[in-house]
Structures are given as structure tokens and as C-alpha cells.
């Protein structure tokens, strides 16, 4: 294993979610390269020291050089995860449905003809997460232990903000389950409200957090 580190003593050089934090006193940036599994794995170690708190986390700092769903012949295949250990895994995905303020007002007032938009979209997102392997051909069926789909009316979009959190204990992660939950919840919102507006936009669907597994943590706010 190769390791290195660098102390960043200027707290103004470090931002949290795009904003400079005035409470950070010191940031240590370190790196580690391992080849324990025959694959070079480079990660970034972030240590944050504030006035009354210490925290650290390893992050992936480089993209992998090989797509796991493509074999040596260039053909698509399902990844064999049989030799991987079962670990706790979590994924969070988010997205938005942008609409006119008048359409948002109808949803808030419960005046959409098809019924309760948010409840139906929430159930659709949960159901979709459980059926991800039926929808995405190379996904593994997983024993999901928890799904939470939350929908928030947001005047700043204007529209609906969707967040899905999925957990499992297994050999592979639940990123696709979280993303599928958000996508189907967004499509359901469109279906429920399209009589009022057909120009709604489904946008910004992305994975925002992933924890557990060999590839490490990902935070993508």
C-alpha cells in the first residue's frame, strides 16, 4: 500500500457543499493506493478539524479504467459478485419535476383530478425500487432492507423535489434502486398532473450519496 498526505492549513481554501465554512481550522488531504484485489484503487482521504469536532472519510478520487459490465470481448454481461462479502450498503438519489407555479398550486391544494399526487408518486417510487432488476437488465435482484421516498413541494424550482434512500446488506450496491425510485416517482408526478400542464420538466436526477462496498464512499451534492 502507498500512502501520502498534505496538510491544508488555510481553512478558507476548503468549502463545504460549495460554501466556505468559517468554523474549519485545519483540513488534511491524504491519498492511498491499494492493489489488494488486483485492481489499483486510489482514494482521497479528507480530515476536517473544527473548533469542537473531528471527522474523516475516504472518497474515490479517480474514475475506474474499466467498465465492469463489459467483458474482455466487448460484450455486455452480468457481473459475478459471488466472491464479494455481504456488507451494509446505502444509496441516496435526488431529482426534480419543474412546473408552472399554477400547477404546483393545484398539487398543493389537492386539486389535481387524478387524486393525491405526492402519495401516489411516493408509492410508485417505492414499488419501482423493488423492481429495479426487472427494469434494468444487468442489475442484480437484491434483498432491500429499507426504502424511503420523500417528496417536497418547492417554490424555488418551482416544482417537486424528490429524494430516495435505499439500504441493503448484500454483495452489490443499491445505487440503481435509488435512481429508479426517483425516476419513476418523477414520471408518476408527470402522469398525475399532465392534464394541468404538459410542459413539466423532469430534471437533475443524480446519485448524491453512496456508502459501503469495495469502491468506497461517494458524495455528489
**Residue 124 DSSP SS3:** helix
Count how many Cα atoms sit within 13 Å of the Cα of residue 102 in the half-sphere of its side chain.
6
Nearest partner of 161 among 94, 104, 100, 106, judged by Cα: 94
How confident is the model at residue 212, as a pLDDT? 84
Q: Are 10 and 28 in contact (CB under 8 A)?
A: no
From the candidates 148, 154, 191, 217, give the one annotated as an active-site residue.
191
- Across residues 25-32, what is the average pLDDT? 47
How confident is the model at residue 55, as a pLDDT? 47
Confidence of residue 108 (pLDDT cuts 50, 70, 90): very high
pTM for the model: 0.67
Same domain? For 93 and 50 the reply is no
Domain around 17: 2-60
pLDDT tens for each residue of 85-107: 678 989 999 999 999 999 999 99
> Is 217 a residue of the active site?
no
Helices (H) and strands (E) in the chain, counts: 4, 11
Report the C-alpha gap between 136 and 93 in whole angstroms: 16
In a domain, 76, yes or no: no
In a domain, 68, yes or no: no
In a domain, 124, yes or no: yes
How confident is the model at residue 75, as a pLDDT? 55
In a domain, 80, yes or no: no
In a domain, 142, yes or no: yes
Burial class of residue 154 in the structure, from the number of CB atoms within 10 Å of its CB (0-12 exposed, 13-18 middle, 19+ buried): middle
176 compared with 79, residue with greater pLDDT? 176
Q: Are 143 and 170 in contact (CB under 8 A)?
A: yes
Report the C-alpha gap between 121 and 151 in whole angstroms: 8
Residue 100 sits in a domain whose CATH number is 3.30.70.640
Same domain? For 180 and 95 the reply is yes
Which of 107-111, 134-138, 168-172, 205-209 is least confident?
168-172
72 compared with 119, residue with greater pLDDT? 119
Same domain? For 123 and 203 the reply is yes
pLDDT tens for each residue of 33-90: 444 443 444 445 444 444 444 444 444 444 555 656 555 666 555 664 546 567 898 9
- Across residues 10-37, what is the average pLDDT? 44
- Across residues 18-34, what is the average pLDDT? 46
Report the C-alpha gap between 197 and 48 in whole angstroms: 46
Same domain? For 36 and 105 the reply is no
Count how many Cα atoms sit within 13 Å of the Cα of residue 165 in the half-sphere of its side chain.
6
Number of domains, the chain = 2
How confident is the model at residue 61, as a pLDDT? 45
Q: Are 151 and 185 in contact (CB under 8 A)?
A: yes
pLDDT tens for each residue of 123-136: 999 999 999 999 98
Amino acid at each position: 500500500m502507498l500512502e501520502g498526505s498534505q496538510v491544508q492549513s488555510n481553512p478558507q481554501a476548503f468549502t463545504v457543499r460549495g460554501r466556505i465554512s468559517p468554523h474549519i481550522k485545519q483540513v488534511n488531504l491524504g491519498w492511498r493506493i491499494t492493489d489488494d484485489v488486483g485492481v489499483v484503487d486510489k482514494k482521497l482521504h479528507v480530515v476536517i478539524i473544527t473548533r469542537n469536532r473531528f471527522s474523516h472519510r475516504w472518497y474515490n478520487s479517480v474514475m475506474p479504467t474499466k467498465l465492469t459490465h463489459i467483458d474482455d470481448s466487448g460484450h455486455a454481461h452480468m457481473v459475478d459478485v459471488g466472491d464479494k462479502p455481504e456488507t451494509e450498503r446505502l444509496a441516496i438519489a435526488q431529482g426534480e419535476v419543474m412546473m408552472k407555479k399554477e400547477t404546483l398550486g393545484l398539487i398543493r391544494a389537492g386539486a389535481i383530478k387524478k387524486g393525491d399526487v405526492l402519495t401516489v408518486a411516493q408509492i410508485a417510487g417505492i414499488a419501482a425500487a423493488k423492481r429495479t432488476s426487472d427494469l434494468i437488465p444487468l442489475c442484480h435482484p437484491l434483498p432491500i432492507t429499507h426504502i424511503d421516498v420523500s417528496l417536497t413541494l418547492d417554490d424555488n424550482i418551482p416544482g417537486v423535489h424528490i429524494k430516495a434512500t435505499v439500504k441493503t446488506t448484500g454483495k452489490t450496491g443499491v445505487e440503481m434502486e435509488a435512481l429508479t425510485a426517483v425516476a419513476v416517482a418523477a414520471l408518476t408526478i408527470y402522469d398525475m398532473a399532465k392534464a394541468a400542464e404538459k410542459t413539466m420538466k423532469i430534471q437533475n436526477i443524480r446519485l448524491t450519496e453512496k456508502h459501503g462496498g469495495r469502491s468506497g464512499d461517494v458524495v455528489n451534492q
